[in-house]
Amino acid sequence: MIDLRSDTVTRPTPAMRDAMLSAPLGDDVFGDDPTVNRLEARAAALFGMEAALFLPTGTQSNLAALMAHCQRGDEYIVGQDAHTYRYEGGGAAVLGSIQPQPLANQPDGSLALADIEAAIKPDDSHFARTRLLALENTIGGKVLARAYLEDALALAARRGLATHLDGARVFNAAVRLGMPVADLCRGFDTVSACLSKGLGAPAGTVLVGRRDLVAAARRWRKMLGGGMRQAGVLAAAGLHALEHNVDRLALDHDNAQRLAAGLARIAALEVEAPQTNMVFVRIPPAHVAPLKAHLDVRGVTTLLGPRARLVTHLDVDAAGIDAAVAAFADYFARS
Ligand SMILES: *Cc1c(COP(=O)(O)O)cnc(C)c1O
């Protein structure tokens, strides 16, 4: 089975399962799960931030962070393609009473600084209070460079906006840039990073940032139903992931290059050059359904569409990539 749908499909390795089995546990709602506490301390140190919070999902982490930053009637500036705006069920508006102000993402995934500037509302009772700028890195597999982040952070500081980074895959960005994650994220008030994607944990996200904001997010986490008890079972997997699975993301990036190069040799496909672990491929619409069926038979699981996203991760090696490319090639050789 070669599953290219997402980097969330990974199964915990035997070593990760051992770490989970042997983790010392307590009741994290009382603050006395030693493994959760160790993970939170480790995450805060790794990001060079004051505090950290362990949450079950990235969605809850982003929502708790947005609610820590914004009050009812505040708004946050966010990309049209950003996960918090587009793929989290409208939680900021539904549960947070926070108005999103979405802006078009540029082709490189960034928000144009002039667009951000123009979207900030004057202090006037007609308008929601513009409170927060939320960026995402990586976004659609693309890396926002540190120089851009510095410009965006400077703009936010100048205009009195707080900043949140949805860094679900921020380790992919840091590895791609060859930069410590603390340097890449410096200056953000809060950063959310998933342990359950490329890092291979079965569940869990860390929210890191300023102490007061993380404390507020901890209260929201409880209200949102994320106060878990012996959560050290999961935190142990997260610690193992941070210790063993960060540097190896480079292998996933290499495999994405290998996949892109292989697919680019197929004339019917148009392949976008990958930056991290995601390969985007344009497929002639008439081929989407029969190609998907063919790949299923060959043991290659995909989410196909006219612009398909194929994702590499720690459960697919170079041989698996070659098998996937061969399955694509065989289909187009016959059709
Ligand atoms: C996956 C993802 C999330 C949400 O994480 P879940 O754990 O699936 O809730 C948030 N932001 C981005 C960019 C993601 O890719």
What is the reported pLDDT for 335?
A: 78
**pLDDT score, position 334:** 87
Q: How far apart are alpha carbons 14 and 194 in whole angstroms? A: 21
Ligand 1 neighbourhood includes 132 CB (under 6 angstroms): no
Query: Minimal CA–CA distance to 206: which of 29, 10, 23, 41?
Result: 41
Q: What confidence score (pLDDT) does residue 162 get?
A: 98
Q: Which tokens go with 118? A: 């123009």
- Which among 8, 87, 190, 311 is the best mutation to test ligand 1's pocket, defined by most ligand atoms within 8 Å of the CB? 87
Our CA angle for 62, 58, 168, nearest 5°, is 95
Residue with tokens 């790794």: 46
Confidence (pLDDT) at 282:
98
For 234, the token pair is 């999961």
**pLDDT tens track of the chain, all 335 residues?**
999 999 999 999 999 999 999 999 999 999 999 999 999 999 999 999 999 999 999 999 999 999 999 999 999 999 999 999 999 999 999 999 999 999 999 999 999 999 999 999 999 999 999 999 999 999 999 999 999 999 999 999 999 999 999 999 999 999 999 999 999 999 999 999 999 999 999 999 999 999 999 999 999 999 999 999 999 999 999 999 999 999 999 999 999 999 999 999 999 999 999 999 999 999 999 999 999 999 999 999 999 999 999 999 999 999 999 999 999 999 999 87
Q: Which atom of ligand 1 is closest in space to residue 60's alpha carbon?
A: 9
Residue of 166, 171, 191, 309 to mutate, ligand 1, most atoms within 8 A of C-beta = 166
Q: How many CB atoms lie within 10 A of CB 262?
A: 19
Ligand 1 nearest atom to the CA of residue 62, by list position = 10
Which residues are within 8 A (CB) of 333 and not within 5 positions of it... i.e. 6 or more apart?
none
Cβ atoms of residues 249 and 277 within 8 Å: yes
CA neighbor of 233 nearest in space, from 11, 13, 24: 24
Residue 295: the pLDDT is 98
Q: Which of 7, 55, 59, 66 to mutate to test the pocket of ligand 1 (most atoms within 8 A of CB)?
A: 59
Q: What is the pLDDT of residue 100?
A: 98
CB count within 10 Å of CB 217 equals 28
Q: Is the CB of 136 under 6 A from ligand 1?
A: yes
List C-alpha distances in Å: 190 to 63, 138, 182, 232, 324: 12, 16, 12, 23, 38
* Distance in angstroms (rounded) separating the CA atoms of residues 94 and 114: 28
- Provide the token pair at 174: 């840091």
59 CB near ligand 1 (under 6 Å): yes
- CA distances to 100, 105, 127, 128 from 124, rounded to whole Å, are 18, 27, 6, 8
pTM: 0.97
Q: What angle do CA 183, 187, 190 make, to 5 degrees?
A: 105
The whole-number pLDDT of residue 169 equals 98
CA of 192 to the centre of ligand 1 (A): 9
CB-ligand 1 contact for 207 (6 Å cutoff): no
- Distance between CA 202 and CA 143 in Å, rounded? 24
Q: What's the pLDDT score for residue 164?
A: 98
pLDDT given at position 70: 98
Give me the phi and psi of 168, to 5 degrees please: -50, -45
196 Cα to the center of ligand 1, angstroms: 9
Q: Is residue 194 within 6 Å of ligand 1 at its C-beta?
A: yes
What tokens were used for 301?
A: 């699981």
Q: Which of 83, 171, 278 to probe ligand 1 with, by most ligand atoms within 8 A of CB?
A: 83
- Fill in the amino acid letter for 302: T
